[in-house]
Amino acid sequence: MNKVVVQAKTVELAVASALEQLNTTQDKVVVRVLEQPRKGFLGLFGFRDAKVEVEKVIDPIQEAITFIQKVTSMLGFQIEVEVKDEGGRKKPVILGLKGENLGPLIGKKGTRIASLQLLTELYANRKIEKYRDKRRFILDADNYRERREGVLTSLAKRTAQKVLRTKTEIALDPMPAMDRKVIHQTLQSMEEITTRSEGEEPFRYVVIRYHSSS
């Protein structure tokens, strides 16, 4: 339940009742006064209660944390979720997942955690209408992202050197968008190397090409 309409003798009492029903605090809701209280004739007849509509403000970060904990619990994991970086309108929120034996949750080359990340983002933004208010998320289990970035950086550089030697293009294995981004960023400063993503999700991959500077 995210919204209630409550009547009481005063606006304050109506809001207090609504907050209790929603199990939240006033800083996390939007209050709309639908009807002000009105005294009756001589203070006795025709009295009208105040009526308010109180709606919870959706916090996509909290929604994401709740979703992750629920899904991972169903899968048999005991997970603690930490907000590493709240990001901003143009930057993703980074959520750190901590627990034991998270390898199966991460999956081969991070495929499972990438899927969980996508589902988390969809769930957290499901009730947010304005695109500008939607949030992006990055899930990082036991610092997997940092380790994975190091592996991808090395892969990109080794492959680029091979492309320079052979003057032929090389297609890497399919990988999630975040991994492809690491490849592109690692090689963007190499003058004789170009990169581009090809294929359709979830089998999209990076192609590294030789580009003569002459």
Q: What is the pLDDT of residues 87-127, one digit of tens each?
A: 777 788 999 999 998 999 998 878 899 899 999 999 999 88
Give the pLDDT band of residue 34 (cuts 50, 70, 90).
Answer: very high
pLDDT, position 1: 66
Q: Are 101 and 141 in contact (CB under 8 A)?
A: no
Average pLDDT of every residue of the chain = 89
For the chain, helix (H) and strand (E) counts, in that order, are 6, 9
Count of CB atoms within 10 A of residue 156's CB?
22
Partners of residue 3 on adjacent β-strands: 55
What ranges make up the beta strands (E) of 115-214? 137-141, 170-171, 193-198, 205-210
**Residue found under tokens 């209630």:** 4
**Alpha-helical segments (H) within 5-102:** 11-22, 60-74
Give the pLDDT band of residue 195 (cuts 50, 70, 90).
Answer: very high
Which H/E stretch holds residue 180?
Answer: helix 177-187
Over residues 151-188, the pLDDT tens digits come to 999 999 999 999 999 999 999 999 888 899 999 999 99
Domains of the chain (ranges plus CATH)?
A: 3-56 (3.30.30), 60-142 (3.30.300.20), 147-210 (3.30.1370.50)
pLDDT, position 39: 75
Q: Are 113 and 106 in contact (CB under 8 A)?
A: yes
CA distances from 175 to 85, 96, 189, 197 (A): 24, 21, 22, 10
Residue 40 has pLDDT above 70, yes or no: no
Query: Within 13 Å of residue 169, how many CA atoms lie on the same side as its CB?
Result: 12
Q: Is 97 exposed, middle or buried (0-12, 13-18, 19+ CB in 10 A)?
A: buried
CA angle 98, 100, 104 (to 5 degrees): 95
Give the pLDDT band of residue 42 (cuts 50, 70, 90).
Answer: low
Nearest CA-CA partner of 22 in 54, 59, 50: 54
Measure the CA–CA gap between 132 and 17, rounded to whole angstroms.
32
* Encoded tokens for 145: 């992202």
Range among 51-55, 153-157, 197-201 rated most confident: 153-157
What is the model's pTM? 0.69
Of the chain, the percentage scoring pLDDT greater than 70 comes to: 95
State the average pLDDT over residues 9-33. Answer: 90
